Structure 1
Amino acid sequence: MKNIKPISWIIGSTVLLLVVATLSLLWGQYPITLETLIGYLQFKVLGGVGNDTYTLLDNIILQIRLPRVLLAILIGSALATSGAAFQAMFVNPLVSPGILGVLAGASFGAAMGMLISEQWYVVQLLAFAFGFVAVGVAVLIGTMVTNSRSTVMLVLGGVISSALFTSLLSIIKYLADPYSTLPAIVYWLMGSLTMADLHGVLLISIPMLVSVIGMIVLGKYFDLMSLGDEEAKALGINVTMIRLGAIILATLASSLSVVMAGIIGWIGLIIPHIIRMAVGPSHRLLMPLSAIVGGAFLLLADTISRLAFTVEVPIGILTSLIGIPVFIIVLKNARAAWN
């Protein structure tokens, strides 16, 4: 499989993403046929005489399904590329987007926002802000011990930061109203795309796409950094700047994901593994494929969560249930993929 040309992988994964996106638009409590969807798209692009069905589809597609499809693709891409970037920076296949505490910090910020305000934009703002604060704490701890390897101290700083903000989150839960605020916090932490709206998705897409594209561009440097810091410096790579840039981009992407959908785990861990097993360790191909396949994976999981049961299952629960057995299978080949 690794002998397949890179462009073939890109095209194939893009086709997969488009197929899943189309199915997600068609499937739901109100099923839509492909013929009806094509007619509706022709009507929206070319104009003509509409009917009551197209008026109904405006609400179903533009207000409900399309925002969820776009948001799922964005978040899946952001988490998968962030995971691949962190794994490359720390030369460790077991790290994920939450390694520096961004998910714990964003969770605390969102929970605090729900406690002090009923305005959703306050919740989102605090989630975003504390995601960066948590990473700042991790980096600060990581730079305190100058005689230790920076990557090791960054990981330890992330562990401490995650523990700190997880503890603060527990305090928020304890103080929250058990009949209203606490259930809202718990449900949000499970991860969900139900809050997606077209305006918000389009607004968040700009910085999220910039982050994803930025990490893809850095892929060629990740290959050199995998040789070790000293070897990369000898080849003319500014390791500190590349690592700092990757951390900022991955933190921005992960924080925005939490802002829009809560905690969605495992994508940043398993998707890069799967891609690495298929195409090899080169980040020039690994990064863009992680973005495309990550988007398709989360979109498929969201479609299943909407259709599998009479009540929608939080997407974070479903990704965990899928991710755990997949990761067990992936672990069998992880050593060979990283060698």
Structure 2
Amino acid sequence: MKKTVTFVVLTALLILLSYFSLNVGNYSVAPKKVLAMLGNRLFNTEMPQTDNYEEVVVFDLRLPRMLMVIMVGAALAVSGGVSQGVFRNPLVSPFVLGISAGASFGAAVAIVFFGHIAYSIDILAGLGGLVAVLAAFAIARRPDGYMPRLSLVLAGVIVSSLFTSLVGIIKYVADVETQLPAITFWMMGGFGNIDWGSLDYVIYLIPISIVLMIVFAWQLNVLAMGDREASFLGMNIKFWKSFYLFLSVAAVGMCVARSGVIGWVGLVIPHISRAVGGPDHKTMLPLSALLGAIFLLVADNISRTITTGDIPVGIITSIIGAPFFIYYLRKKETAVWN
């Protein structure tokens, strides 16, 4: 009963925040007008006279941006929870494992060398993320197959540092008038350039990857017991780890290709979800999806309203996420590294 109430409350909060996102910004639109425009589009109800510019702002600018923010927030949070479950490490996330850095390198290469090829950013960002997480996995793993928590985190730091350096090389050879500004702004993470064209195939594939990770969440509960115990229960460990790794990297790669690098969501949100709903992945992952979408919507609304410009949302998530990480390390000072 308590979990049901939690899901209902969070879903209602997400709907309210989504509606609020269509109202706020440098050009504010009255809530009644937004509601009337939505009713007219969805149910063909009568709509009072409105400025055409208001409709453009709501439906062509804010609505696709809001949908992308929700998908990216949910995908990053669920991918973070999956990564922590697969590696049995509460300190890993797509950002910490180097997936984001690898995807950034792939996207930077695409911007500079393959900008004329359709979907080059998406493909190379996904490949870069996959190479990064495999490299971190190989560095951290001992010959006996054991991966200490600290080793995996440090391996992620090493891989992230390497790919960040490679991105620096790409920026050095990039065109200073067009390519370099695009890479720099994209590295900070944001949704300022999102339109309906940006949603193309990701509006289907990102939700599908999220749903698949949630539907098979019970397998993560078995993996969390340890490889030996999971083997005794008849689980194909290599298949399920590869399955989750593929979905996580694919989701993060699509997110990075569309919104740039947005950190901390995949690290912070799963911990909050566990605190709210417990460690069961069948509950934790859906909660992470809702909380991730809510968290990123709040951050994006702040980035759009705090100044007259559009602050990259990655800056906002870092400001919020870093203090939480410090708090978590202080709270789990000894146990977290064992």
Fold similarity call, TM over 0.5: yes
Name the counterpart of 2:4. 7
Alignment-mate amino acid for residue 318 of structure 1: I
Q: Does 1:270 align with 2:238?
A: no
Identify which of 26, 31, 34 aligns with 2:31.
34
Q: Distance in 1 between matches of 2:157 and 2:328?
A: 24
1:26 alignment partner, SS class: coil
Name the counterpart of 1:291. 289
Task: Give the superposition deviation at 1:243.
Answer: 1.1
Distance change in 2, residues 1:138/1:333 (3 Å): closer
Task: Give the superposition deviation at 1:204.
Answer: 0.5
2:90 alignment partner, SS class: coil
Distance change in 2, residues 1:159/1:239 (3 Å): farther
Distance change in 2, residues 1:270/1:205 (3 Å): same
Q: Does 1:116 align with 2:113?
A: yes
Q: Is the 8 A contact 2:189 2:260 kept in 1?
A: yes
Task: Give the superposition deviation at 1:184.
Answer: 2.1
Which sections of structure 1, spanning at least 5 residues, go unmatched? none
Q: Distance in 2 between matches of 1:70 and 1:221?
A: 29
| Superimposed CA distance per residue, residues 43-71 of structure 1 (whole angstroms, 9 cap, x where no aligned partner) | 22333665651633331111100011000
Q: Distance in 1 between matches of 2:230 and 2:19?
A: 43
Name the counterpart of 1:94. 91
Name the counterpart of 1:81. 78
Distance change in 2, residues 1:41/1:148 (3 Å): closer
Q: Distance in 2 between matches of 1:98 and 1:57?
A: 37
Q: Is the 8 A contact 2:129 2:253 kept in 1?
A: yes
Q: Is the 8 A contact 1:276 1:337 kept in 2?
A: no
Q: How does 1:136-151 map to 2 (within 5 A)?
A: 136-138=134-136, 141=138, 147-149=144-146
| Superimposed CA distance per residue, residues 120-170 of structure 1 (whole angstroms, 9 cap, x where no aligned partner) | 74334432332234345455x369965332687877765554344223212
Name the counterpart of 1:201. 199
TM-score between both structures, scaled by the size of structure 2: 0.88
Q: Is the 8 A contact 1:40 1:54 kept in 2?
A: no
Name the counterpart of 1:230. 228
Name the counterpart of 2:43. 46
Name the counterpart of 1:171. 169
Q: Is the 8 A contact 2:102 2:131 kept in 1?
A: yes
Distance change in 2, residues 1:99/1:246 (3 Å): farther
Moved more, 241-250 or 319-328: 319-328
Task: Give the superposition deviation at 1:100.
Answer: 4.1
| Superimposed CA distance per residue, residues 262-297 of structure 1 (whole angstroms, 9 cap, x where no aligned partner) | 000000000011111122211111000000110111
Q: Distance in 1 between matches of 2:223 and 2:333?
A: 19
Name the counterpart of 1:281. 279
Q: Distance in 1 between matches of 2:105 and 2:189?
A: 14
Identify which of 168, 188, 191 aligns with 1:190.
188
Task: Give the superposition deviation at 1:30.
Answer: 2.0
| Superimposed CA distance per residue, residues 3-27 of structure 1 (whole angstroms, 9 cap, x where no aligned partner) | x622222111111111111111111
Distance change in 2, residues 1:34/1:129 (3 Å): same
2:50 alignment partner, SS class: helix
Task: Give the superposition deviation at 1:333.
Answer: 5.1
How many residue pairs get matched? 334
Q: Distance in 1 between matches of 2:30 and 2:55?
A: 15
| Superimposed CA distance per residue, residues 210-255 of structure 1 (whole angstroms, 9 cap, x where no aligned partner) | 1111111232122222221111222222222111111011001110
Q: Does 1:325 align with 2:316?
A: no
Q: Distance in 2 between matches of 1:103 and 1:42?
A: 39
Task: Give the superposition deviation at 1:186.
Answer: 1.3
TM-score between both structures, scaled by the size of structure 1: 0.88
Identify which of 61, 64, 67 aligns with 1:67.
64
Sequence identity (%): 38
Q: Distance in 1 between matches of 2:271 and 2:282?
A: 15
Q: Distance in 2 between matches of 1:57 and 1:288?
A: 34
Moved more, 84-93 or 123-132: 123-132
Moved more, 235-244 or 155-164: 155-164
Q: Distance in 2 between matches of 1:277 and 1:51?
A: 46
Moved more, 48-57 or 266-275: 48-57
Task: Give the superposition deviation at 1:171.
Answer: 1.3
Distance change in 2, residues 1:142/1:218 (3 Å): farther
Q: Is the 8 A contact 2:75 2:252 kept in 1?
A: yes
CA RMSD of aligned residues (A): 2.8
Q: Distance in 2 between matches of 1:112 and 1:39?
A: 44
Which sections of structure 2, spanning at least 5 residues, go unmatched? none
Alignment-mate amino acid for residue 87 of structure 2: F
Distance change in 2, residues 1:145/1:295 (3 Å): same
Task: Give the superposition deviation at 1:102.
Answer: 2.0
Task: Give the superposition deviation at 1:178.
Answer: 3.6
